[in-house]
């Protein structure tokens, strides 16, 4: 019987976690959902709303711009924070925040042990796997959890939303009306009557 081996395996698997079961449960109630959110889409909002079914609180952690020019965001971090705060105003358990530098350093300063990310398709997997592995190697106390994006939004990305909006395509129904309006303002397109599709904010 392997019974004698079990504590050894456990000790290896959780070498630093000396907490009681109750403590472990309580630290699992906060998740950090990081991202560029440039801009927020219904895909992101769907993940947040579903995460609130699992976690008591979700911190939407908006990444500041990096020095990498190829990753320059369309909306400034201040604009992204302002839009997110407006969109999640009705959900008091969503905390909108921003972070600079390493994600693990930011998460380490919260009580969260979970980094939450959405997965749309297998194409996301390699990037996400790399990021989750790197983050775990930087801080073994943190784990990344993935939620599958809802089937209605699996083709929606901030990048494609920006491209479609820049070329004058309709993004209503894929992003909240607030975001569709702000995209039009950014790209200096006429703000027309908003279509009432999907969620209203
Ligand atoms: O929405 P995005 O652009 O896919 O989000 C990526 C983000 C911001 C979560 C990621 O780039 C990040 O965590 N940046 C902070 C820098 C960091 O910690 N890098 C190490 C992980 S590889």
Strand ranges inside the chain, DSSP E: 30-35, 57-63, 94-99, 114-119, 143-148
- 150 CB-near residues (< 8 Å, 6+ apart): 43, 46, 50
Confirm or reject: Cβ of 135 under 6 Å from ligand 1: yes
Atom of ligand 1 minimally distant from the CA of 34? 9
Q: Which pLDDT score is estimated for 28?
A: 58
Confirm or reject: Cβ of 132 under 6 Å from ligand 1: no
Confirm or reject: Cβ of 43 under 6 Å from ligand 1: no
CATH of 26-153, one of 3.40.50.300, 3.40.50.620, 3.40.50.1580, 1.20.1250.20: 3.40.50.620
Cis bond before residue 39 (omega within 30° of 0): yes
pTM check: above 0.75: yes
C-alpha 22/C-alpha 201 separation (Å) is 38
Mean pLDDT of the 65-74 span: 81
Nearest to 75 by CA among 100, 40, 116: 40
Q: Is 44 a catalytic residue?
A: yes
Mean pLDDT of the 7-29 span: 48
C-alpha 179/C-alpha 156 separation (Å) is 14
User: Lowest-pLDDT range, 19-23, 78-82, 138-142?
Assistant: 19-23
Q: Is 73 a catalytic residue?
A: no
Is residue 68 pLDDT above 60, yes or no? yes
Nearest to 176 by CA among 155, 162, 191, 194: 194
C-alpha 93/C-alpha 25 separation (Å) is 18
Q: Which pLDDT score is estimated for 186?
A: 94
Query: 150-173 pLDDT, tens per residue?
Result: 999 999 999 999 999 999 999 999
- Specify the residue with its C-alpha closest to ligand 1, atom 14: 103
The single residue listed with the structure tokens 């020095």 is 67
Atom of ligand 1 minimally distant from the CA of 38? 1
The pLDDT mean for the chain works out to 86
Q: Any idea where the domains of the chain sit in the sequence?
A: 26-153
- State the catalytic residue, choosing from 10, 19, 24, 71: 71
Confirm or reject: Cβ of 131 under 6 Å from ligand 1: yes
Q: Which pLDDT score is estimated for 123?
A: 81
DSSP 149-186: PPTTTTT--HHHHHHHHHTT---BTTB-HHHHHHHHHH
Nearest to 178 by CA among 95, 76, 87, 42: 87
Query: 47-65 pLDDT, tens per residue?
Result: 999 999 999 999 999 999 8
Report how far ligand 1's centroid is from the alpha carbon of 113 (Å): 17
- State the catalytic residue, choosing from 120, 181, 184, 186: 120
With a pLDDT cut of 70, the percent of the chain lying above it is 81
SS3 46: helix
- State the catalytic residue, choosing from 36, 113, 117, 158: 158
Confirm or reject: Cβ of 166 under 6 Å from ligand 1: no
């Amino acid at each position: 019987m392997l019974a004698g081996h079990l504590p050894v395996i456990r000790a290896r698997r959780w070498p630093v976690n000396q907490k009681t079961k109750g403590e472990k449960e309580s630290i699992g109630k906060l998740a950090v959902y990081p991202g560029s959110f440039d801009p927020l889409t219904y895909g992101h909002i769907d993940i947040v709303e579903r995460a609130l079914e699992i976690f008591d609180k979700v911190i939407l952690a908006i990444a500041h711009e990096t020095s990498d020019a190829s990753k320059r965001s369309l909306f400034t971090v201040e604009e992204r924070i302002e839009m997110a705060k407006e969109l999640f105003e009705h959900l008091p358990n969503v905390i909108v925040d921003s972070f600079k530098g390493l994600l693990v350093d930011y998460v380490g300063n919260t009580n969260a042990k979970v980094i939450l990310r959405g997965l749309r398709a297998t194409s996301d997997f390699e990037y996400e796997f790399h990021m989750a592995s790197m983050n775990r190697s930087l801080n073994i106390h943190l784990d990344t959890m993935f939620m599958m994006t809802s089937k209605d939004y699996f083709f929606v990305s901030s990048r494609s939303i920006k491209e479609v909006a820049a070329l004058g395509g309709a993004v209503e129904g894929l992003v909240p009306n607030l975001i569709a309006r702000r995209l039009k303002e950014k790209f200096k397109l006429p703000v027309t009557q908003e279509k009432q599709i999907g969620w209203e904010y």
